[in-house]
Structure 1
Amino acid sequence: MSLIAILGALEVGLIFGLVALGVHLSFRIINFADLTVDASFPLGGAVAATLIVLGWNPFAATAIAFASGALSGWITGWLNVRLKILQLLAGILVMISLYSVNLRIMGKPNVALISEPTVFSMLAIEGIPEYVLKPLILLVVALAAKLVLDFYFASEAGLAMRATGSNPRMARSQGISTDRHTLIGLALSNGLVALAGALFAQSQGGADVSMGIGTIVIGLAAVIVGETLLPSRSLAVATLACLLGAILYRFFIALALNIDFFGLKAQDLNLVTAVLVGLALLMPAYRQKIRKARLRRPQPSKESANA
């Protein structure tokens, strides 16, 4: 792989690191199987791209994209909390409706940003190539999002949200509003995903209504890979594992598609994704089997050790 290909994989990996943080928040922290991710990702891209084309400042457009994603997550939570619709069905309903919303926002299936200013062009530094600058900017954004989440989850409100996901009955008995924290958690989760979509659209030069297909799978794969490589109960380590899992996932994808030995092409991306997710799911089980096998091994007695 060339240096440009490696940096490109790092760039996309950092963007999907934000998606992994959002998926980890919904699936692991508040224990909510949210499928809105597949629609909030293109929603962020659609809002940011449309506003930039209309002349908005790219930073303001990106902030509005974050807010739009947060609103979509809040609606999913409201359908579940207030109307008592099942989690999966609430996510599916919002995901389906957002497809039409994204088309309404863009007015067409895609919006190009090739000749428009972006957050990356506005932060350009003379002498630093674009393929180097983008990963650096995204690294700062991803680490900032991680640190903000770590700080939030260490606060009283964050601990209440974690209690909501781990044991809602106990949390309610302690006077915690589990409904409110579920809504906040889903809003933060989808806001991060929409932020990733906005940055992805500006990085790739445009937004497309179908660019969110498979986002939830990629996010889950990143979370699983990260948890396999860095198993820990510490939340700070877990958020770091999400970022590393997303980066490694994109590197595996790029490596598989760039090695001629396998004969894989761009159209095999979904196949490679399925194989990698399957391997990531199997790794914890095999690790557990290895641990049990080691524990079952007979320990040498003191007499044989002295002999």
Structure 2
Amino acid sequence: MSMLSFMGALEIGLIFALVALGVWISFRVLDFPDLTADGSFPLGGAVAAVLIVSGCNPWLACGAAMLAGAVAGLVTGWLNVRLGILQLLASILTMIALYSINLRIMGAPNIPLLGEPTVFSPFVSDDNAYWVQPLVLAVIVLVVKLILDWFFASQMGLALRATGANPRMARAQGIATGRVTLGGMALSNALIALGGALYVQTQGGSDISMGLGTIVIGLAAVIIGETLMPSRALFIITLATVVGAVLYRIFIALALQADFIGLQAQDLNLITAVLVAVALVLPRFKSKWRKPAKNGKSANAVTGGQP
């Protein structure tokens, strides 16, 4: 893999690290199977693209994209909490509705951003864009990760974690689990929409179909990170999620550039499915490998190491 390809994979991986953190909040913290990501990711891109083309500051456009994503998450949470619709079905309904909403926002299937200012414009030139953009994204991801670490150590964050772990016990402790769930879903999709806003600024435009498979990529990043860096410490868990997203994109780039495999760009979904399947199976193999080792140690302890 060339350095240019590696930096490109790193750039996309860092963007999807934000998506993975949002997916981690809904799936792991809240235990809420949320498919809204496939709609909130292009929603963030659509809002940011329209505002940037209209002359808005790119950073303000990212903030507006996060706000739009938060509203999408609130709608999903409201359908579940207030109307009693099943979590998965509520997210599917929101995702389907967002397709039409995104088309309404953009007014066309795509919006080009070539020549428009972006959050990277003050830092990049024609010679250094390939490494400066990943650096800027790394700083953004680091700031978001540290804010999340601080938030989940706060009283509100602990209430969010308690709601996902045991809603009945959380209600017994006086936590308004409905409101907490709404807040958690808003936070989750705000991060995913931020990823979409940054994605369109690196790719030079927004497209209505760019959200396809977003939830799979986010889940793959979470699973890969948990497999490679298992831990109960919050700091490590969020770090593992970021690392999982970056490694996922690097694995994809390696697979597509391996001539002996013969894979092409249209095989991206196939590679994704294989990577997710491997990541899901690996923990089982690890537990099987550990059991014989533990049994061997316990047997030696009982016999005193004698045959």
TM-score (normalizing by structure 1) = 0.97
Distance in 2 between residues matched to 1:287 and 1:304, nearest whole Å: 28
How many Å apart are 1:67 and its aligned residue?
0.5
AA in 1 matched with 2:300 = Q
Give the distance between the partners of 2:123 and 2:32, measured in 1 at CA.
Answer: 36
Who is 2:294 aligned against? 295
Q: Which amino acid aligns with 2:281?
A: L
Residue of structure 2 in register with 1:212 after alignment: 211
What residue is the counterpart of 2:156 in the other structure? 157
The Cα of 1:292 is off from its aligned counterpart by 1.2
Deviation at 1:296, TM superposition (A): 2.4
C-alpha displacement of 1:80: 0.4
Give the letter for the 2:141 counterpart.
Answer: A
Report the counterpart of residue 87 of structure 2 in structure 1: 87
The answer to whether the 8 A contact 2:300-2:306 is kept is no
Matched, 1:114 2:104: no
2:306 counterpart residue number: 304
1-side partners of 2:123 and 2:7: how far apart? 18
- Equivalent position of 1:261 in the other structure: 260
Secondary structure of the corresponding residue to residue 111 of structure 2: strand
**Distance (whole Å) between structure 2 residues aligned to residue 178 and residue 14 of structure 1:** 32
Shift of 1:304: 3.0
- Name the structure 1 match of 2:71: 71
- The match for 1:249 is 248
Listed one character per residue, the Cα deviations across residues 255-298 of structure 1 (whole Å, up to 9, x for unaligned) are 00001010000000000000000000000010011111212223
What SS is found at the alignment partner of 1:120?
Answer: coil
**Deviation for aligned residue 1:236:** 1.0
Q: Distance in 2 between matches of 1:224 and 1:240?
A: 13
Match of 1:304, SS state, is coil
Residue 207 of structure 1: SS of its match in structure 2?
strand
Counterparts of 2:187 and 2:278, CA distance in 1 = 29
- Compute the TM-score of the two structures, normalised by the length of structure 2: 0.97
Q: Secondary structure at the match of 1:269?
A: helix
Q: CA deviation at 1:128?
A: 6.1
Determine whether 1:191 maps to 2:193: no
Provide the residue aligned with 1:52 in structure 2.
Answer: 52
Is the CA contact (8 Å cut-off) linking 2:45 and 2:65 kept in structure 1? Answer: yes
Give, as a single letter, the amino acid of the residue that structure 2 aligns with 1:177: A
Q: Do residues 23 (structure 1) and 20 (structure 2) align?
A: no
Q: Which amino acid is 1:9 matched to?
A: A
**2:173: which partner in 1?**
174
Amino acid at match of 1:2: S
The Cα of 1:54 is off from its aligned counterpart by 1.0
How far apart are the structure 2 equivalents of 1:55 and 1:122? Answer: 16
Q: Aligned pair 1:281/2:280, yes or no?
A: yes
Match of 1:132 in 2: 131
Match of 1:147 in 2: 146
CA drift at 1:90: 0.5
2:97 aligned counterpart, secondary structure: helix
Distance 2:261 2:2 in 1: 18
Give unmatched runs, 5+ long, in structure 2.
none
2:151 maps to amino acid: Y
Alignment partners' CA distance in 2, 1:95 and 1:33:
13
Is this contact kept in 1: 2:48–2:58, CA < 8 A? yes
- Distance (whole Å) between structure 2 residues aligned to residue 71 and residue 227 of structure 1: 29
Partner of 1:227: 226
SS at match of 2:272: helix
| Aligned partner letter, 1:200 | Y
**In 1: Cα distance, 2:174 partner to 2:83 partner:** 22
Structure 1 counterpart of 2:228, one-letter code = L
**What amino acid is the match of 1:30?**
L
Shift of 1:120: 0.8
Q: For 1:100 and 1:190, how far apart are their aligned partners in 2?
A: 18
Name the count of aligned residue pairs: 304
Distance 1:147 1:68 in 2: 23
CA distance in 2, matches of 1:131, 1:63: 25
Q: Secondary structure at the match of 1:119?
A: coil
For 1:127 and 1:195, how far apart are their aligned partners in 2? 25
Which ranges of structure 1 fall in alignment gaps of 5 or more residues?
none
Distance 1:26 1:129 in 2: 36
CA-to-partner distance for each residue in 1:102-144, whole Å, 9 max, x for gaps? 00000000000011111111333x6960011110000001111
CA separation of 1:241/1:303 partners in 2, compared to 1, >3 Å: closer, same or farther? closer
| Separation of aligned partners in 2, 1:66 and 1:303 | 61
Change in Cα spacing, 1:303 to 1:194, as seen in structure 2 (3 Å) is: closer
CA, structure 1 residues 128+148, in 2 after alignment: closer, same or farther (shift >3 Å)?
Answer: farther
